[in-house]
A = this chain, B = another copy of it.
């Protein structure tokens, strides 16, 4: 599989992975949500090579996740700002952080705490069902092909059988 074809796959996960699914991109996005905006600042806080950073920023702009906004002319300098499309990645970032908080902390505890301005409390992110509000678990969810699906492979037919048995 070629990586450019990933965004054309009939799978919402694959298409999103085509945009954000590599290590440096996720770390760049972390910095964006921490309000880092400039090329050299990304480099300094991440230790990413300039080569790869330029590539990742270009890709995020191309996918509409970031927008370049000039903050001075002569010489022209731009900041990279999250678009709404980019801000919508927040649940992904937070669910990654949450898993790390639960499964990857060392004895010193969490590196970072989150306060909800709305209710003024320290919180954890929780993923719930839009219909009933209950927290979601993998076992409580059934998948169905949607209108944009193509017919399932033999492998998935086999897996489907397993799903029925369980």
Are A26 and B35 in touch, CB under 8 angstroms? no
Residues in B whose Cβ lies below 8 Å from that of A36: 155-156, 159
**Is the interface on chain A under 10, 10 to 19, 20 to 34, or 35 or more residues?**
35 or more
Are A17 and B26 in touch, CB under 8 angstroms? yes
SS class, residues of chain A in contact with chain B = mixed
Are B118 and A129 in touch, CB under 8 angstroms? yes
Residues in B whose Cβ lies below 8 Å from that of A91: 95, 98-99, 125, 127, 136
Instruction: Report the minimum CB–CB distance from A101 to chain B (whole Å).
Output: 5
Complex: A122 Cα to B145 Cα, angstroms:
12
The reply to whether the CB of A97 lies closer than 8 angstroms to some CB of chain B is yes
Complex: A162 Cα to B1 Cα, angstroms:
42
Residues in B whose Cβ lies below 8 Å from that of A41: 155, 158-159
Give the contacting residue for A126; candidates B13, B21, B127, B145; CB below 8 A. Answer: B127
Are B17 and A23 in touch, CB under 8 angstroms? yes
Instruction: Enumerate A42-86 residues with CB–CB distance to B below 8 Å.
Output: 44-48, 64, 82, 85
Q: Which residues of A are interface residues toward B (Cβ below 8 A)?
A: 1, 3, 6-7, 10-17, 19-23, 26-27, 30, 33-37, 41, 44-48, 64, 82, 85, 87-106, 108-119, 121-134, 136-150, 153-156, 158-160, 162-163, 166
